[in-house]
Chain A
Amino acid sequence: MRIPKFLVGIASVAVIVAACSSGASPTPAPTEAPTAAPTAAPTAAPTEAPTAAPTEAPSPTAAPKAFKACQVSDTGGIDDKGFNANAWQGMQNAATELGIEVKFLESKAETDYERNLQQFIDENCDIIVTVGFLLGDATAKFANANPLTEFAIVDYAYDPKIQNVAGLVFQTDEAAMMAGYLAAAMSKSGKIGTFGGINIPPVTIFMNGLAAGINYYNKANGTSVELLGWDPTAADGKGDGTFTGDFSDKDKGKQVTLSFIQEGADVIVPVAGPVGLGAAAAVQENKDNGVMLIGVDTDQFVSAPEYGDVTLTSILKRIDNAVTAAIKASYDNTFMGGVYNNTLSNEGVGLAPFHDFESAVSADVKAALDDLKAKIISGEVKVSDYLSAK
């Protein structure tokens, strides 16, 4: 009886195959992520014209024209609650604002990058947004091969520039320096803890800024607030510190945070994407001891409200605004290749509101932060000058 029953199996396969080849009506391509709606809501209204715009966008045209913006995520996935999700938020904001079609493809492996880019070239996307340095080579290759398509890449820039690629880079250390100052001012124990996911520039730039802010505070007030987990002067000036080794293991984030708290730290700044949620949980357990958290990338009070009661502020990296601006420029035919530096002065980076801590932060500290911000914008204070504690 084995063979007949096996044939039954074959027959069912045949039915499925037959069904596949018969009138299948393909569903229309979705303009939104089916499951991956990023929870990272922007703190500013999406309609607010970002000043980080590659070029000044003229008033939107009345009737939406056919335009397709496409995003290739890196291996973190579109719902990483980090830069892929933020960029996708920017794509969706552009869709709402301009009435254009937006689409994404996720990458699971390095081989997927070119495959996904090719897919979008075949689909005649008007602008292709890629995310992260891992896509740097693939984006350059496809940009050179397809000069009529425009590209924007997050956290990467080309030198020399490629005519049809906008490199969106973020001076997050400027905002992190403000956060470092705030952390130093708020800390009762005089110890701040930070750790990263992986030792890469987009991560360590936060930690450098943090260290600079603490050093600046110490110099201004004659204190000796310490930063645990990062030393910008170690490893011949490359900096070295604590890293969990990935951007996914929340338990490690919790362990590292608990050990910082053991050592006396009362402000924790995780720069590790979702790993930061583990840190947030550890901070919340020690809420009664006055331990606070500073988030990164998006306003964590909004994106992770369950930890809102311990979130002092967040260091904002407005990838969403930068992406929306690049798409707008492409839509308005004002797109130009080159490096787009997102800074405090063009609000490409910044500090989130204090929310629950609004009253806890004294007016003096707020004034000092405004003063520091103005000095960073004017160039009077540079992050690089404060990396060393001496």
Chain B
Amino acid sequence: MSGQPPQGSWTGPDTTVAREAALGDERIEKPSSPTGRGRGWLRVDLRSVASSLVVPVLSVVTALIIGGFVIVLSDPDFWAMLQSDPIGAIVKGLQDVIASYQALLTGSIGSPTEMISALASGDPKEITAAFQPISETLLSATPLIFTGLAVAVGFRAGLFNIGAEGQLYIGAIFAVYVGFSFTGLPMFIHLPLAIAAGILGGAIWGFVPGILKAKTGAHEVIVTIMMNYISYQVVMLVLKTEGFQRPGRDDPISQNVLPSATLPPLIDGLRVHWGFILALVAAAVVSWLLFRSTTGFEFRAVGLNPGAARYAGMNISRTIVLAMVISGGLAGLAGTVEMLGTSGKLTPGFSPGYGFDAIAIALIGGSRPSGVVAAAILFGALRAGATPMQAATGTPIDLVVVIQALVIMFVAAPALVRAIWRIKSGRATGTEVFSKGWGA
């Protein structure tokens, strides 16, 4: 903890003073700015945003540069060429790096000229082709936004939810079951029902560690990790269960979600679906919840100083349980949109670790919903661009994992980034660990 809460905010059970101070700005430890109040919860303080962006952006840049070295140094041709023609090897290495990143970029964003010419031509086929890269990026980002929000909510309440992965799987089970088993319903009933089921599934899986922590003090890190393992086995179990497993197949694969419970694509021919819009809505709701609602205030107060929060008359147990339920529900939504939008069926291991990437995303995004959305889109772009990069240059897809890991490392060590780029440490940028330590 770098910043102290403003003195006086915590002096008595009257929470309104502290609450006003907290709502005046996004973070509780900063004094409220005079213009900050009453201008709506989406108010942006540009200077604060810019300074809080420095470390994440430079982390990404540093990670990409080191990733470049990895591309060159992991290429056996480079080492072979280094003996005979060192300069040529370095030049070729540099070209490889540039080609790889170019493919990564065009594969994740696309080419603006192509988009414009496609729009001008009006040919729907060309338009889908031009917008496919960005569609793929947003598609990959969608589950990450949900899981990132889930972990961020936990962080704000001082809880380290490592269980987003498990909550995602349970949410997926619930959503896919409602999605294929409830026949004959119109879409406007069936789809919301399936989504609600997914939220419920994740929320249940979040409730268990929440209540265990609140009632027995069991540490949520340990409980959520263990519940991840249980969730994997539950997935295997249901996929082997008659009525869930696809008829006529021995493989662990579920029945297909019915069209009436499917999240339709945003644009026909592209894979990005309404789940992305749902993710943005969820981010807005979480933003409101955390920074404009009493509940959110309690989350953050408990997260920063449970003792003070208790003294201020807040119900710590209730807050912990509620935060874990909301966190779990959000993670459950990640599994839900994967089932109802992207894949249409449940298979074991469908998540490549969305719940774990989420920890990094919440960290990079400073546990702010807007930051989470941005970080998730960055990770989505890396994932979407990896395929064209691999196809064009043969750079292994694992490079993306390396880059992601480096970004996380640098974001977690802001002092390192500042040292590399020789930036003086100003005030705190809000990327400190929000969770309490062990046994908090």
Bound together, the chains give a CA A198 to CA B344 distance in angstroms of: 22
Judged by a CB distance under 8 angstroms, whether A9 is at the interface is yes
**B96 touching A200, Cβ below 8 Å:** no
Stretch at the interface among B3-11, B148-156, B419-427: B419-427
Is A20 a contact of B240 with CB atoms below 8 Å? no
B232 at the binding interface (Cβ < 8 Å) = yes
Which chain B residues border A105 with CB–CB below 8 Å? 387, 390-391, 397
The distance in angstroms between the C-alpha atoms of A201 and B252, with both chains bound, is 9
Interface size on B, residues (CB 8 A): 63
Are the C-beta atoms of B253 and A75 separated by less than 8 Å? no
A59 at the interface (CB under 8 A from B): no
Q: Which residues of B contact A109 (CB under 8 A)?
A: 140, 350-352, 383
A238 within 8 A of B: yes
Q: Let me know if B394 and A34 touch, CB within 8 A.
A: yes
Q: Which residue of B74, B102, B391, B421 has the most chain A CB atoms within 10 A of its CB atom?
A: B391
* Residue interface bits A118-139, CB-to-B below 8 A is 1, else 0: 1110010000000001101100
Q: Judge if B386 is at the interface, Cβ distance under 8 Å.
A: yes
Q: Is the CB of B390 within 8 A of A106?
A: yes
The answer to whether A2 touches B391, judged by C-beta atoms less than 8 angstroms apart, is no
> Does A27 have its Cβ within 8 Å of any Cβ on chain B?
yes
Give the contacts of B193-233 with A (CB-CB under 8 A): 232-233
Tell me how far the C-beta of A333 lies from the nearest C-beta in chain B, rounded to whole angstroms.
Answer: 26
Most buried by B among A12, A19, A120: A19
A116 to chain B minimum Cβ distance, whole angstroms, is 6
On chain A, the residues within 8 Å of B77 by CB distance are: 34
B345 contacts A by Cβ under 8 Å: yes
Q: Which of A97-128 touch B at CB < 8 Å?
A: 103, 105-106, 108-112, 114-116, 118-120, 123
Instruction: Knowing A106-B397, A110-B338, A111-B342, say if A5 contacts B423 (CB, 8 Å).
Output: yes
Chain A residues 270-325 with CB under 8 Å of chain B are none
The CA-CA distance from A123 to B387 in the complex, in Å, is 13
A109 to B400 Cα, complex, angstroms: 13
Nearest residue (CB) in A for B352 is A109
Given A9-B421, A201-B250 in contact, is the A108-B386 Cβ separation under 8 Å? yes
Known: A106-B397, A115-B387, A116-B387. A2 touches B424 (CB 8 A): yes
Q: List residues of chain A with CB within 8 A of the CB of B236.
A: 198-199
Question: Pick the contact of A106 from B132, B232, B251, B396 — CB < 8 Å?
Answer: B396
A374 at the interface (CB under 8 A from B): no
A379 beta carbon closer than 8 Å to chain B = no
B98 CB within 8 Å of chain A? yes
Contact (Cβ within 8 A) A26 B61: no
Which residues of B in the span 341-357 have a Cβ within 8 Å of any Cβ on A? 342-345, 347-352
Docked Cα-Cα span, A372 to B58, in Å, equals 66
Interface presence of B291 (CB below 8 A)? no
Asked whether, in the complex, the Cβ of B136 is within 8 Å of the Cβ of A29, the reply is no
* Measured CA separation A118–B390 after assembly (Å): 14
User: Closest A-chain residue to B95, C-beta based?
Assistant: A25
> Residue of B at shortest CB range from A79?
B396
B105 contacts A20, CB within 8 Å? yes
For the complex formed, measure the closest distance between the CB of B128 and the CB atoms of chain A, giving whole angstroms: 11
B-side contacts of A63, CB under 8 Å: none
Nearest to B400 among chain A residues (CB) is A108
Which B residues, 61 to 105, have Cβ-Cβ distances below 8 Å to chain A? 61, 64-65, 74-77, 92, 95-96, 98-99, 101-103, 105
Residues of the A chain whose Cβ atoms lie less than 8 Å from the Cβ of B136 = 115
User: Are B394's CB and A9's CB within 8 A?
Assistant: no
Size of the chain A interface, CB-CB below 8 angstroms: 48
Q: Write out the residue numbers on chain A whose beta carbons fall within 8 Å of the beta carbon of B139.
A: 111
The DSSP consensus for interface residues of chain B is helix
Interface hits, B233-260 → A, CB 8 Å: 233, 236, 240, 248-253
Q: Are B387 and A24 in contact (CB under 8 A)?
A: no
B249 to A, closest residue via Cβ: A133
B residues near A75, Cβ cutoff 8 Å: 349, 352
Known: A5-B422, A26-B393, A109-B352. A159 touches B248 (CB 8 A): yes
Contact yes or no, A29 B58, CB < 8 A: no
A111 to B426, CA, bound (A): 41
Q: B394 to A29, Cβ gap below 8 A?
A: yes
Bound CA span A185–B271, Å: 56
Q: B413 at interface (Cβ–Cβ under 8 A)?
A: no
Most buried by B among A5, A29, A111, A119: A111
* B392 contacts partner chain A, Cβ-Cβ < 8 Å: yes
Q: How far is the CA of A8 from the CA of B136 in the complex (A)?
A: 33
Kindly state whether residue B377 has any CB partner on chain A within 8 Å: no
Chain B residues numbered 396-430 whose CB sits less than 8 Å from any CB in chain A: 396-397, 400-401, 421-424, 426
Contacts of B338 in A (CB 8 A): 110-111
Residue of A30, A111, A201 near B140 (CB, 8 A) is A111
Residues of chain B with a CB closer than 8 A to A16's CB: 64-65
Is B163 positioned at the interface, with any CB of A under 8 Å from its CB? no
| Chain A 229-250 interface 0/1 with B at a Cβ cutoff of 8 Å (1 = within) | 0000000001000000100000
Residues 314-366 of B at the A interface (beta carbon under 8 Å): 338, 342-345, 347-352
Known: A25-B95, A111-B140. A34 touches B422 (CB 8 A): no
Tell me which residues from 1 to 42 in chain A have a Cβ below 8 Å from any Cβ of chain B: 1-2, 5-6, 8-9, 12-13, 16, 19-20, 24-27, 29-30, 33-36
In the bound complex, do residue A20 and residue B98 qualify as a contact, i.e. CB atoms below 8 Å apart? Answer: yes
Residues of B within 8 A of A19 (CB): 98
Closest 10 CB pairs of A and B: A109-B352, A30-B394, A201-B250, A133-B251, A26-B99, A24-B98, A110-B350, A9-B421, A106-B397, A5-B422
24 contacts between A and B (CB under 8 A): A6-B421, A9-B58, A9-B423, A20-B98, A27-B92, A27-B393, A30-B394, A34-B76, A34-B396, A35-B76, A75-B352, A103-B391, A110-B338, A110-B352, A112-B387, A114-B271, A115-B384, A115-B387, A119-B388, A120-B391, A136-B253, A200-B251, A201-B250, A201-B251
Known: A2-B426, A137-B345, A245-B233. 7 other contacts (CB 8 A): A20-B101, A27-B393, A108-B386, A109-B350, A111-B140, A119-B387, A137-B344
